[in-house]
Amino acid sequence: LTRIAALADLHANLPALDAIIAEIAPLDLDAVVVAGDLINMGPFSTEVLERVFSLGWAAVRGNHEFYLLDYKTPRAPAHWRDYTTPRWLNETIPLAYKRRLAAMPDTLALTFPDAPPLRVYHGYPHTPWDSMYPSNTDAEAIDAFRVTQEETILVGHVHLQQERWLREGDCAWHIINPGSAGLTLDRQVNTAPYALLEGDSDGWRATFCRASFDPQPLRDAFARPDYVHAHGAYARLYAAEFEHAHVYIWPFNRWRADACPGEPVTHALVDQFLALGEDVLKWVPEDFASPTPIPASDP
């Protein structure tokens, strides 16, 4: 029997990561794997990289690693010029860690002797910028995952715990999203979702867990003058997303495009958006409006 922990979307949330580390330490696991988005949005990108690298965990890159890796290269799309975080990542993450991220794989196959190979992507096989949402049909998911040889596929990106079995002819896929360890978006505040996977000749089975963490160090770091200065009015939206375990950036950008296109992102504009209260839901994508979390098991 092989037992591993699967984490995804740490998003620079050190208190959440440390809570999971403490919870899984006594389990004597065979491996830990991180399905991308280790950095960005939260305030502890460098510290999270330090933990993951020093623990020797397996990890693939997510789209948020590319905000750093593609910064000021011809690969960066023009609209990133308005984004505050790539420059902040570039200025604060040490060169040695940038080199590690540059050489990190985009996908992995974990091949233990007593269990079927397990495939790891951040998003879909063809892109880290999209993945399977609860609202996606099986046909849509099969279209994207069909190229995968392995039956069990670990993914991240969507920030909601999910488990789905897909079947097409003789082929079957078992999709597991352990949820976002650092930035869960299912309103389960101050929790760090992850999954424990058990593999043997019958395949892989997932148990969905959540570690609890103290949010105060996050709040303090979001209020730090250097963080606020680097991120401007967006800093409050990032802080709100972590505080409430609910989407803020995505609906804010949709609302701004609808209600006041082209308006610069100022504190006044963010105030106006936050004052909408429950009306904000109109701009919240359906998967995040009233998510149904998978009940957490004990590790």
> Which DSSP letter does residue 114 get?
T
Contact segment (CB under 5 A) with Fe ion among 6-14, 101-109, 231-239, 279-287 equals 6-14
Subset of residues 59 to 78 that bind Fe ion, contact rule: CB under 5 A: 62-63
- Rounded to a whole number of angstroms, the CA Rg of the chain reads 19
Subset of residues 184 to 213 that bind Fe ion, contact rule: CB under 5 A: none
Three-state DSSP state, 100: helix
- Binding Fe ion (rule: CB under 5 A), the pick from 3, 157, 210, 236 is 157
Site membership for Fe ion, residue 23 (CB under 5 A): no
Q: Which of 146, 284, 292 is nearest to 208 (CA)?
A: 292
Site membership for Fe ion, residue 37 (CB under 5 A): yes
Site membership for Fe ion, residue 13 (CB under 5 A): no
Cβ nearer to Fe ion, comparing 35 with 211: 35
Cβ nearer to Fe ion, comparing 86 with 199: 86
C-beta separation of 85 from 41 below 8 A: yes
Which position's Cβ is nearest Fe ion?
37
C-beta separation of 211 from 192 below 8 A: yes
Provide the minimum distance between the beta carbon of 122 and Fe ion in the complex, in angstroms, as a whole number: 6
Number of residues that bind Fe ion (CB under 5 A): 5
234 torsion bin: left (phi>0), alpha (psi -120 to 50), beta (else): alpha
Provide the minimum distance between the beta carbon of 9 and Fe ion in the complex, in angstroms, as a whole number: 4
Pairing of β 171-177 and β 162-168: antiparallel
Three-state DSSP state, 4: strand
Note the residues at the interface with Fe ion (CB under 5 A). Answer: 9, 37, 62-63, 157
